[in-house]
Amino acid sequence: MCGIVGYISKERNPNSLRLGLEALKRLEYRGYDSAGFAFWDAEKKEIVCQKSVGKIAKLEEKVNGNGNKPVLANPIILHTRWATTGEVTEINAHPHSDCAGKIWLAHNGIIENFHVLKQKLEEEGHKLSSDTDTEVIAHMIEKFFSGNLEDAVRKALPYLKGTYGLVVISKDDPEKLVAAKLGSPLLVGLGENEYLVASDPAAVIAHTKKVIYLDDGEMVSISPNSFSITKGYNVQQKKPENIEWDMEDAQKGGHPHFMLKEILDQPESINNSIRGRVLAEEGKARLGGIRYIEDKLREVEKIKIVACGTAYYAGLIGKYMLEEYGGVPVEVDLASEFRYRKPILDKKTMVIAVSQSGETADTLGAIKEAKEKGAMILGIVNAVGSAIARESGVGIYNHAGPEIGVASTKAFTSQVTILALLSLYLGRQRGLSLVMGQRIAKEILSLPGLVRETLNLNDRVRELAGKYKDYDNFLYLGRKYNLPVALEGALKLKEISYIHAEGYGAGEMKHGPIALIDENFPSIVICPSDSVYDKVVSCIEQIRCRKGKVVVIATEGNENIKKIADDVIYIPKTLEMLTPIVSVVPLQLFAYHMAALRGCEIDKPRNLAKSVTVE
C-alpha cells in the first residue's frame, strides 16, 4: 500500500536525496505501482519533482540520468503509490501540486469528499490535472496560503472528509516540511543529523530508533533545526519512543511473524478492498475496473471461476453468493484441471480468475485457454500489474496490500469480499431488490468492524491451541457457505503445522469420514446460526455418539450449543453470505498458534512457495 517519507537534513547534505530514496525503498515490501518525490533545491531556488510508474529503481534511473550531479535537496517528500483513485499513471503518481507548482504534497488515505471539493475548486478557477483525490488537498492549501505553510495546511484540513497521512513542502516557505495525520499512520524520526517523517517505522529505522508517533488530528512542522507538534493551534509536548525492533521486525509491525500481522491486518485490508466501492443508499457496488463492460456483463449467461489453493476456496464461496444474489449459474474449477478438461465456453461465459499473486502458472494457463475460446475474462487479483492482471484486461484489484506469509489469510478474506461486491453488482443488474441490495451493502460496510471484533478471540484461540496441540489429525466440517471455510481451515492447519487435517462438507460426513472418528480424532465444526444450522447440529451429534471431540464455531448468543460441544468459539452475527469472512478468522488463528506451539517455521513452511509460477 502507499508509503510516505519526508526527509529534512540539519546540515547542507549533498547525499540527502539518496538517503530519502533509500528510506522510501524500505517501504517497497508493502507493494506499490508508482513512485515519486519532490524537493526544494536550495541552490537553484526551485522545487524539483520526479515521478515514474513502476519500481523506485526507475526513479533512480531518472536521477542518475541527470548526470548524478549532487543537489542540495532539502526538504524532500517521497511517496510510493498503490492506486485507489485514478489509474496507474505518472500524472496520478504523487507528489501532487497546486496550480502554480509551488505547493507539493504526498498523501496516504482517501479524501471521500474530493468530488465536491474538486468541483468547487474548479469553479474558483483552479486547474487540476490528475484523477486523484490527493490533488485537491494541494489546491486547498494553495487557497489558504499567505506566506506560512503550516498555517495554510491547518486551515485547509478541516475541509477534508476521509483519512490522511500527508507531507507538504512549499516554494514560498521553503525550509519547512509540514506533515499531518488523520486515520493513516505517520511518525517523526529524530535522527542525529536529520528528521524523517514516515508512514511506517521501517523507513526510519536505519537512521534512528527514536520516534514520535503522531496521533489523529496532529500536525508537525519541521525546520532543519527544530520541530513542533500541534493540534489545532495548541502545541503538543510528546515524548519520543524507542523502536525496539530491527528492520525485519519493523516490516512485521512488531509481530513475530508476517502471518500473524496479516491476520491482524484484516480489518484494514477488507476496508481497503471495499473503500469507495459500496453505494449504501443505492444498494449497489461501484467497481471501476469493470465499468467499461457494464453492458456486456448484463448478457453473461454463466460464470466459471478458476483459481488455485486458498483462492480456489474463495471461489467456491463466490459460487454460493453469485448464484444466490448475482442470479448467474457458476462453476468453480481448479485452474490446473480447467485447462485440461475441455471446458465448454462461449462469448456469454465469463471466466473469473482469482489470484493473490497474479502469477500462478495454472491460473494464468487457464485464462489463456479461455481467452482463445472467446470467453470474457475478469481477474480478481491482489498484485497490481501482475501477469494475470495484464492477461485479464478487465478486473478488480483487491487492494489488500502485499501478503508475505506463504499461508494466505488476508488475501482470502479480501477475495471473498470482492466476490460479495461482484454478486451485489450483478444482482442489481438482474433484479435483486433495492432493499436486499441495501442490506448487503450495509453489511459489507460493517465487515471490518466485525472482523476486528472476531480478532479479540486471539487469546482464547491460543488457549485452545494449547489444549489441542498434540493431536495429529483433525476433521474440519461446514456446510453451504461454510463448507469452503472448512476446506480453508484444514488447508491452513496442514500448510503451517504439518498436522493432517481434512476439510469436508458436514452433509458428507456420514458417507465416509465418520469412520475416522474416535476420541483421538477431533473435529472443528463451523456451525453459525444460519439456514443449515439444524443440519450441522445433527452432524455434531453423530460425532459425539462416537466419542469424538468437537470444537464448534457458533454465533454469539447461542448458549445451547455448549451442551453438545467440548469447546465453543463465538463469532459475531452477519448475513449468511458473509459469514465465511468472519468464521475463517478463528481458524486462521488456530492454525497459527498450533504451528507456533509446535515450533514450526510459520512464514515459510517446508516445501511451499508463495507464488507458484510452475505447473
> In the structure grid, which three cell numbers stand for residue 276, read together?
469507495
* Residue type present at position 203: A
The residue with its CB nearest to ligand G6P is 309
Per-residue exposure over 406-443, b if at least 16 CB sit within 10 Å of its own CB, e if not: bbbbbbbbbbbbbbbbbbbbbbbbeebeeeebbebbeb
Nearest distance, CB of residue 582 and ligand G6P, angstroms = 20
Could you tell me how far CA 228 lies from the centroid of its own chain? 33
Between 20 and 309, name the residue whose CB sits nearer to ligand G6P. Answer: 309
The C-alpha cell at 267 is: 480489518
Residue whose CB is less far from ligand G6P, 235 or 614: 614
**How much is the CA Rg of the chain, to the nearest whole Å?**
26
User: Cβ distance 160 to 151 under 8 Å?
Assistant: no
Cβ distance to ligand G6P smaller for residue 402 or 478: 402
Beta bridge partners of 63: none
Is the four-CA dihedral 509, 511, 513, 516 of positive or negative sign? positive
Pairing state between β 3-9 and 73-81: antiparallel
Binding site for ligand G6P (CB under 6 A): 308-311, 355-357, 360, 363, 406, 408, 608, 610-612
Q: Helix, strand, coil proportions of the chain in percent (round to 5)?
A: 40, 25, 35
Q: Which is nearer to ligand G6P, 355 or 523 (CB)?
A: 355
Which lies closer to ligand G6P via its Cβ, residue 257 or residue 549? 257
CA 47 – CA 103 distance, rounded (Å): 9
Catalytic residues: 2, 610
β-pairing verdict for 330-334 and 284-285: unpaired
CB 164 within 8 A of CB 109: yes
The count of C-alpha atoms lying within 13 angstroms of the C-alpha of 516, restricted to the half-sphere facing its C-beta, is: 18
- Minimum CB distance to ligand G6P smaller for 180 or for 591: 591
**C-alpha cell of 8?**
529534512
CB of residue 307 vs ligand G6P: minimum separation in angstroms? 6
Task: Please enumerate in sequence order all residues whose Cβ is within 8 A of that of 31, keeping only pairs 6 or more positions apart, or say none.
Answer: 1, 82, 383, 384, 401, 402
In angstroms, what CA-CA distances link 509 with 477, 516, 528? 8, 10, 18
Taking the least distance from each CB to ligand G6P, the nearer of 64 and 607 is 607
Is the peptide bond prior to 256 cis by the omega test (within 30 degrees of 0)? no
Quote the cell numbers at residue 275: 473503500
C-alpha 9/C-alpha 226 separation (Å) is 11
CA gap 137, 144 in Å, rounded: 11
d(CA 406, CA 418): 21
**Cβ closest to ligand G6P, residue 165 vs residue 605:** 605
Work out how close the CB of 30 gets to ligand G6P at its nearest, in angstroms, rounded to a whole number: 17
